[in-house]
């Protein structure tokens, strides 16, 4: 077998801006850096957006694949599904995402150009 990356566990011991002793686990792939598809997969399973049953992963009725590496590859090859899963994770964790607009907010409100017209 050929190594293509590492699974890394990092611990923040001292931090001035956030609580200390927080752990993070992520994949560093030698050809791409930190794996965004791996991070999305981990977060989506944690948030319940993707269901894991044994080694199989499902997104709603869509069977994504068997094994973590196969699902990461499937997500990389299907950017529309990647975006849909990402949106589901952001909504499940109540994090506003780019491109979301609220109906009551006026983008020109409060700017000098909008006030002078």
What pLDDT, on the 0 to 100 scale, is given for residue 1? Answer: 77
Burial class from Cβ neighbours inside 10 Å (0-12, 13-18, 19+) for residue 86 reads middle
> Across residues 88-111, what is the average pLDDT?
64
Identify whether 43 is part of a domain. yes
Identify whether 17 is part of a domain. yes
Split at pLDDT 50, 70, 90, the class of 7 is very high
Identify whether 39 is part of a domain. yes
Q: Against a cut of 0.85, is the pTM above it?
A: no
Distance CA 29, CA 39 (A): 12
Identify whether 80 is part of a domain. yes
Identify whether 84 is part of a domain. yes
Q: Scan for tokens 């992520």, then name that residue.
A: 26
R_g over Cα of the chain: 19
Distance CA 71, CA 66 (A): 7
Nearest to 99 by CA among 83, 77, 85, 113: 83
Task: Indicate whether 2 pLDDT > 90.
Answer: no
Contact 11, 22 (CB under 8 A): yes
Write the CATH number for 76.
Answer: 3.30.250.10
Q: Which domain holds residue 12?
A: 5-95
Domain tally, the chain:
1
User: Each residue of 32-55: pLDDT tens digit?
Assistant: 899 999 999 999 999 999 999 999
Contact 10, 37 (CB under 8 A): no
Contact 13, 7 (CB under 8 A): no
Identify whether 42 is part of a domain. yes
Identify whether 113 is part of a domain. no
Identify whether 60 is part of a domain. yes
What pLDDT, on the 0 to 100 scale, is given for residue 77? Answer: 94
């Amino acid at each position: 077998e050929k190594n293509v990356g590492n699974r890394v566990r990092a611990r923040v011991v001292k931090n001035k801006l956030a609580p200390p002793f927080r752990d993070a686990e992520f994949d560093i792939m030698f050809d791409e850096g930190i794996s965004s598809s791996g991070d999305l997969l981990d977060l989506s399973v944690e948030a319940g957006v993707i269901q894991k049953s044994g080694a199989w992963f499902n997104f709603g009725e869509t069977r994504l694949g068997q094994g973590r590496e196969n699902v990461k590859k499937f997500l990389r090859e299907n950017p529309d599904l990647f975006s849909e899963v990402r949106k589901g994770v952001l909504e499940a964790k109540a994090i506003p995402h780019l491109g979301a607009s609220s109906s009551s907010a006026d983008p020109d409100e409060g700017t000098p150009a909008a006030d002078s017209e």
